[in-house]
Amino acid sequence: MHISELETPAVAVDVDVLERNLASMAEYAGRHGLQLRPHTKTHKIEAIAQMQRRHGSQGLTVAKSEEAEVMAHAGCADILVAYPVYGQAKWQRLARLARERRITVAVDSITPAEGLAAEAVRAGSTIGLLVELDVGMRRCGVPGPEAALALAQRITGLPGVEMRGLLYYPGHIWDRPEAQATALASVEAQLAAVLDALRRAGIPAPIVSGGSTPTARNSHRVRGTTEIRPGTYVFNDRNTLGVGACAAEDIAVRVLATVVSTAVPGRAIVDAGSKTLTTDRWISGNDQGFGSVDGYPGIKITGLSEEHGHLDVSQSAAPPRVGERVAIVPNHVCPCVNLHSRLFFHSKGEVLGSWEVDARGRIH
């Protein structure tokens, strides 16, 4: 079956591009001696996690304790939860998993560390902890050496957990690529100060986990970093393209849609709205539009209702007709995939099969 025969809306993944993206990131990490620990939030699919492992990833990253369960089920033996998990059921889930898998969790306060420690003791397991450091994103993470050291020291005193190092997320950098060099140097200096404080206190920090798709290929410029956690690179999207973190031919995913109405002059409506694409914005671009339409550079997706994509076709000499199919690059592929139960994968347009989005809805 050709992808043009899939019922719309549908998410189609070009496996050749996907494989190339996986290989390319693995090559980058290998060349610079960085461990590769992809964030599976982008795909949430066991089969792709397994492909990532075949492409040299040493472990995986998740955001949720239930996602950790899914990736453990996929056979992953080494899982990082890059999230300050709070809640007894979640701590129990991770403590149970830690009996047979290497589980590491990032924390920025003592409370979840104590919760994880208590449950690990109860389960007879050991959970690794990373201290999250805020390097400028202002989301999570302790602010500097003093706070990092204080938290690391308290962690070291807890049973059931093991201090394994630092985690940072340079998610603030990609918005300003022109300032990237300065920003990366600042991250490096912040890491060095914290690592120095830990070293003086005799606290080991063998792991320094960083990266993200937009900055991934600059991770070697942040000395001290031992592993990277890119997520979006598997598929890429309009935002990663906009920030220059991929080329157009590296975008592996398209949302296939059908034009259902052209009754309003200057408009074409497709069957992909906010429940198919998400209302995430084009934050790496001019903030206009909810995706780009292949082959129609003059057409803008100006608005989304829940099931309607509003295309402005007023500037198009030959706009699509009712029944015509279009292929859309979403602004942000991660929450878009999260809206779909199943992705179809193809090679050169020939559908080879589909994957269930295994961890979709595993929100805890």
- Residue from 19, 162, 250, 307 in contact with a second copy (CB under 8 A): 307
Name the residue nearer to a second copy (CB basis): 55 or 170.
170
- Kindly state whether residue 358 participates in binding a second copy, applying the rule CB under 8 A: no
- Residue from 34, 71, 97, 147 in contact with a second copy (CB under 8 A): 147
- Residue from 79, 142, 205, 301 in contact with a second copy (CB under 8 A): 142
State the minimum distance, in angstroms, from the CB of residue 138 to a second copy: 5
- Residue from 275, 316, 354, 355 in contact with a second copy (CB under 8 A): 275
Name the residue nearer to a second copy (CB basis): 50 or 109.
109
Structure-token pair, residue 303: 């608005």
- Kindly state whether residue 139 participates in binding a second copy, applying the rule CB under 8 A: yes
Whole-number Å distance between alpha carbons of 12 and 137: 32
Residue span binding a second copy (CB under 8 A) among the ranges 12-20, 179-187, 188-196, 276-284? 276-284
Cα–Cα distance list, 278 to 3, 45, 129 (Å): 22, 19, 33
Site for a second copy in 230-269 (CB under 8 A): 258-265, 267, 269
23 to 62: interface string for a second copy, x by CB under 8 A: ------------------x---------------------
- Looking up tokens 């690592």 gives 195
Give the binding-site size for a second copy (rule: CB under 8 A).
61
- Residue from 1, 247, 248, 363 in contact with a second copy (CB under 8 A): 363
- Kindly state whether residue 140 participates in binding a second copy, applying the rule CB under 8 A: yes
Name the residue nearer to a second copy (CB basis): 13 or 34.
13
Name the residue nearer to a second copy (CB basis): 34 or 161.
161
- Residue from 178, 287, 306, 350 in contact with a second copy (CB under 8 A): 306
Reduce the secondary structure of the chain to three states and give it as a string.
CEHHHCCCCEEEEEHHHHHHHHHHHHHHHHHCCCEECCEHHHCCCHHHHHHHHHCCCCCEEECCHHHHHHHHHCCCCEEEECCCCCCHHHHHHHHHHCCCCEEEEEECCHHHHHHHHHHHHHHCCCEEEEEEECCCCCCCCECCHHHHHHHHHHHHCCCCEEEEEEEECCCCCCCCHHHHHHHHHHHHHHHHHHHHHHHHCCCCCCEEEECCCCCHHHHHHCCCCCEECCCHHHCCCHHHHHCCCCCHHHCCEEEEEEEEECCCCCEEEECCCHHHHCCCCCCCCCCCCCCEECCCCCCEEEEECCCCEEEECCCCCCCCCCCCEEEEECCCHHHHHCCCCEEEEEECCEEEEEEECCCCCCCC
- Residue from 91, 310, 319, 327 in contact with a second copy (CB under 8 A): 310
- Residue from 38, 59, 128, 141 in contact with a second copy (CB under 8 A): 141
State the minimum distance, in angstroms, from the CB of residue 344 to a second copy: 13
Whole-number Å distance between alpha carbons of 6 and 50: 26
- Give the angle 186-34-105 at the CA atoms, nearest 5°: 80
306 alpha carbon, distance to own chain's centre: 24
Site for a second copy in 71-100 (CB under 8 A): 83-87, 89-90
Kindly state the greatest CA–CA separation across the chain. Answer: 71
- Kindly state whether residue 108 participates in binding a second copy, applying the rule CB under 8 A: yes
State the minimum distance, in angstroms, from the CB of residue 76 to a second copy: 19
Residue span binding a second copy (CB under 8 A) among the ranges 17-25, 176-184, 221-229, 273-281? 273-281
- Kindly state whether residue 138 participates in binding a second copy, applying the rule CB under 8 A: yes
- Which parts of this chain interact with a second copy (CB under 8 A)? 7-9, 41, 63-64, 83-87, 89-90, 108-109, 111-112, 132, 134, 138-143, 147, 171, 258-265, 267, 269, 271, 274-276, 278-281, 305-308, 310, 322-323, 334-335, 338-341, 361, 363-364
